[in-house]
Amino acid sequence: MTTLSELVGRTVVSRSSADPLGNLRTLVIDGPRHAIVALQIGKGRKSRFVELGDLRAVGPDAIVVDDESLVHEAVGPAQEATAKGKLDVLGAAAFTSTGVALGAVTDLLLDLDRGLISSVLVGGSEFQGEAVLGFGTFALVVDVPES
């Protein structure tokens, strides 16, 4: 398992050309499925994306894709919002499903083999990935059992 903060800034490399394609900025996630959908490379107008299933390897020094044809411009609302900086999970506000503010998301623990968020770290608290109910431009919402 790895954390998102460990991956941010890591170089994405084409296996076929051995050229760098850019650096990882953030992930596109599907909150209700607590799934990793794609990786954002670069930011703003220079943003490009690669689908999680198109990764060849995630190593300690680089993320490898077969070739640059797998890297594409934003497709769909989630990637478009991510490219505009509206869906950056690190630093996003976190709320419970009952509307209690938890603080800002400080990191995600990722299961890249399964393409899932294992845990969400908010301040000193950790929430299982399965607790993520949604993620949007305003906040990440988690299901927290009432005490």
3-state SS, residue 123: coil
The confidence score (pLDDT) of residue 1 equals: 84
pLDDT in tens, 90-130: 999 999 999 999 999 999 999 999 999 999 999 889 999 99
> Is 88 inside any structural domain?
no
65, 26: one domain: yes
The confidence score (pLDDT) of residue 58 equals: 95
Spatial separation of the C-alpha atoms in residues 109 and 129, rounded to whole Å? 8
Q: How many domains does the chain have?
A: 2
pLDDT in tens, 29-65: 998 899 999 999 998 788 999 999 999 999 999 999 9
Query: For position 78, which CATH number holds?
Result: 2.30.30.240
pLDDT at 146 over 80: no
The confidence score (pLDDT) of residue 69 equals: 94
72, 125: one domain: no
75, 14: one domain: yes
19, 66: one domain: yes
71, 121: one domain: no
Spatial separation of the C-alpha atoms in residues 147 and 139, rounded to whole Å? 23
32, 73: one domain: yes
Question: What DSSP string describes 106-128?
Answer: EEEEEETTTTEEEEEEETTEEEE
Which H or E element spans position 79?
helix 76-83
DSSP state of 47: -
Residue range(s) defining the domain that contains residue 22: 2-83
126, 73: one domain: no
